[in-house]
Amino acid sequence: MASEGKRSLSVLNCGAGLPFGLGNRLARTYKEHMTRHTIMEKLQILADAAKYDASCASSGTAKKNSVGGKGIGSTEGMGICHAYAPDGRCISLLKVLLTNHCVFDCHYCVNRKSSNVRRARFTPREVADLTLTFYRRNYIEGLFLSSGIVKNSDHTMEQLVDAARILREEHDFRGYIHLKTIPEADPEIIHRAGLYADRISINVELPTEAGLARLAPDKNAGTIEGAMGGMKLAIAEAKDAKKRFRHAPGFAPAGQSTQMIVGADSASDNQIIGKASTLYGRFGLRRVYYSAFSPIPDASAVLPLKRPPLMREHRLYQSDWLMRFYGFSADEVQQAAGADGMLPLDMDPKLAWALKFRESFPVDLNRAPREMLLRVPGLGTRAVKNILLARRHRTLRLDDIARLTVSLVKIRPFIVTADWRPTMLTDRADLKSLVVPRREQLELFG
């Protein structure tokens, strides 16, 4: 610090004897350089700290731009943290924490109070300036902003809201904003967040109350769900107001989401699936995100020593898709799990369900309703849509299905077409070995 101070003094003094104003400009340039350097150091720390939050997708947002107006920003383009809307648009976000200081001591969090990590903190205006700078360079289209708890929940939530307010009101920023809210904060402050953000997320953190009490003693399941319930009500009221009054203010138009950590506690996949189903039903969430626990430096002794298989996280996302897009109930997805309540890692849950309930197959692709087609292993929603369209004009044969799907290997035992019937194939004892992809060790040399 002493050497830095001497260098600063020498730069400021070097203006002596220079033409009028040049010394001041030199000093101002140095000051701006030092400020930028500090901002970049903060960004390095706080962007890295934000990587543990998986719920930064922007699905559900409406298309917006500043064409014909004085505003800045849009929700169409490419950049840093990529998320995708339902129509396939790629939306890039600056994903960062306001601060990684935290008064909470959640065992699984790298930014917990007792953790020995480098700390940094942005002001709301610095976050807004960074967002605008990155946008003007065509790096991003929006902002995902979360934070540790500094001072208290209300103070931190006020800071998060203020960053969004500066962007919206002072700069007329029309890009995407996702705010991670703090359920312990005053409901009125959380409500203000919804007036500026496209999406709000409130993390439940862990699937069971016992796990939350053990690993996050500063958090309370009732408080979290209470905040979710208030957000659901506010979103519904805003939608109703929009129907009646054309210029009614929007409120979190992309809805709310949450995240659960997988593998930090002893919760089974079936418990996680059940929790996700409850959250969708009670609070109308747009998404539940799953984040596989990752061991952190100086970890608490109550945490596992290694992370769960990443395939477990993948299988949970597949089970989530079955409930959201394929018409499966939570109970049916849970039936795909083993006796220990864990989904099989060697096959997707849809195939696991089909192998357990073979009496539901084979399915006649020329006659079966959409809900049964969606249960055929290997048929996705797009393939089912194409089958329904194609069979209006012709009777489908196996070759037709081959053109609509990636592979027939998984599908053949479960379908009937005009020229194909699996006969006894569906009931074979070794059917699993025929349809489950084999695990092979990759060769170093082809």
For the stretch 279-298, pLDDT in tens is 999 999 999 999 998 887 66
Give the integer Cα–Cα distance in Å for 12 and 23. Answer: 7
pLDDT, one tens digit per residue, over 20-37 is 454 565 555 545 544 555
Hey, where are the domains in the chain?
A: 39-248, 357-435
Structure tokens at 215: 């690993």
Strands 287-292 and 363-364 turn out to be unpaired
Task: Please determine, for residue 148, whether its predicted confidence score (pLDDT) is greater than 50.
Answer: yes
Confidence class of residue 71 from pLDDT cuts 50, 70 and 90?
Answer: low
Q: Please state, for a pLDDT cut of 90, what percent of the chain lies above it.
A: 62
Confidence class of residue 78 from pLDDT cuts 50, 70 and 90?
Answer: very low
C-beta neighbour count of 74 within 10 angstroms? 19
Mean pLDDT over each residue of the chain, to the nearest integer = 85
Confidence class of residue 305 from pLDDT cuts 50, 70 and 90?
Answer: confident
Q: 279-284 long-range CB contacts below 8 Å, 24 or more apart?
A: 279/204, 279/228, 280/323, 280/324, 282/225, 282/228, 282/229, 282/232, 283/225, 283/228, 283/229, 283/231, 283/232, 283/256, 284/232, 284/235, 284/236, 284/255, 284/256
Give the integer Cα–Cα distance in Å for 197 and 235. Answer: 12
**Residue 83 contacts residue 91 (beta carbons within 8 Å):** yes
| pLDDT for 3 | 45
| pLDDT for 252 | 95
| pLDDT for 55 | 58
Give the integer Cα–Cα distance in Å for 379 and 410. Answer: 9
pLDDT, one tens digit per residue, over 83-139 is 665 556 677 889 999 999 999 999 888 899 988 889 999 999 999 999 999 999 888
Structure tokens at 89: 């648009």
DSSP string computed for 399-421: HHHHHHSS-STTTGGGEEBTTB-
| pLDDT for 1 | 43
122 φ, ψ (degrees, to nearest 5): -95, 155
Higher-pLDDT residue of 427, 275 = 275
Confidence class of residue 216 from pLDDT cuts 50, 70 and 90?
Answer: very high
Is the peptide bond prior to 19 cis by the omega test (within 30 degrees of 0)? no
Average pLDDT, integer, range 198-219: 95
| pLDDT for 385 | 96
| pLDDT for 32 | 52
How would you label 244-271 residue by residue, b for 16+ Cβ within 10 Å and e otherwise? eeeeeebbbbbbbbbbbbbbbbebbbbb
Give me the residue label for tokens 């731009």.
65
Higher-pLDDT residue of 344, 68 = 344
**Residue 83 contacts residue 89 (beta carbons within 8 Å):** no
| pLDDT for 62 | 47
Structure tokens at 226: 């209470």
**Residue 77 contacts residue 93 (beta carbons within 8 Å):** no
| pLDDT for 4 | 41
| pLDDT for 58 | 42
Give the integer Cα–Cα distance in Å for 46 and 43. Answer: 5
| pLDDT for 50 | 83
**Residue 129 contacts residue 123 (beta carbons within 8 Å):** no
| pLDDT for 23 | 52
Q: Please state, for a pLDDT cut of 70, what percent of the chain lies above it.
A: 81
Task: Please determine, for residue 13, whether its predicted confidence score (pLDDT) is greater than 50.
Answer: no
- Paired strand residues for 259: 289
| pLDDT for 9 | 35
Structure tokens at 49: 């700290």
Nearest to 264 by CA among 226, 305, 298: 305
Strands 256-262 and 287-292 turn out to be parallel
Task: Please determine, for residue 315, whether its predicted confidence score (pLDDT) is greater than 90.
Answer: yes
| pLDDT for 16 | 43
Confidence class of residue 79 from pLDDT cuts 50, 70 and 90?
Answer: very low
pLDDT, one tens digit per residue, over 394-406 is 999 999 999 988 8
For 73, 211, 220, 245, 303, the CA distances from 216, given in Å and listed in that order, are 38, 8, 8, 43, 12
Which amino acid is located at 417 in the chain?
T
